[in-house]
Amino acid sequence: DQQVKQNSPSLSVQEGRISILNCDYTNSMFDYFLWYKKYPAEGPTFLISISSIKDKNEDGRFTVFLNKSAKHLSLHIVPSQPGDSAVYFCAAPPVGGADGLTFGKGTHLIIQP
Amino acid sequence: DTEVTQTPKHLVMGMTNKKSLKCEQHMGHRAMYWYKQKAKKPPELMFVYSYEKLSINESVPSRFSPECPNSSLLNLHLHALQPEDSALYLCASSERSGDNTEAFFGQGTRLTVV
């Protein structure tokens, strides 16, 4: 059973516009979420995180929104740039003090010039 | 230094070979991880070391054997692998185990088993 879901395998956005990547989760006990960006043949790079006590966290062009009642989070990138083309993973640490990350399947973001 | 360094970057091995993947970090992190990523799939957790002790083994076959010689190094020993074990193997570290801090990933080792 997948606890972190990214239902869009790919997303194409024009350069300069807003990219919105979505993530849903099933475990209401998750209290922290992370977004990672991954280029081909490289390891994931941490982008931004959000704690469940917040509903928004912003870092430069990246903003993550959390809707706990809907068990949904989204990553907004504005303005989108060609270098943003990558696979984006939503992830959550397990509950109860365990370790490791559970990743969604990822969304391949393609920025069109 | 916010790097996790993995060697080698690429490895091709036969099913009877023994090889090792290496991972190193100098951020003072006390938790280190091995993940496996197949094409078009998310990374999947294999092992977690916390304070140099194996704390999680996600039912990984015994042909994969992790080792943590010290707080900066993590190895993954490979023996008698199968072609389906071909994947990108990612090492990661974080400040502490079980804490809500981000994990830093290495670039991975692309393993091909022939």
User: Which tens digits make up the pLDDT trace of B54-111?
Assistant: 987 788 999 999 999 999 999 999 999 999 999 999 999 998 776 667 899 999 999 9
- List CB contacts (< 8 A) between A102 and chain B: 45
| Least CB–CB distance from A99: residue in B44, B90, B98 | B98
**B62 contact partners, CB below 8 Å, separation of at least 6:** none
Interface of A with B (CB under 8 A): 31-32, 34, 36, 41-46, 49, 51, 89, 93, 97-106
Q: How confident is the model at residue B1 (pLDDT cuts 50, 70, 90)?
A: low
Could you identify the residue written with the tokens 């790079």?
A: A45
Alpha-carbon torsion A84, B41, A28, A95, what sign? negative
- Pick from A45, A50, A25, A32: which is nearest to B100 by CA? A32
Within 10 A of A89 (CB to CB), how many other CB atoms are there? Answer: 25
Provide the residue type at B73 as one letter: L
pLDDT in tens, A1-29: 679 999 999 999 999 999 999 999 998 88
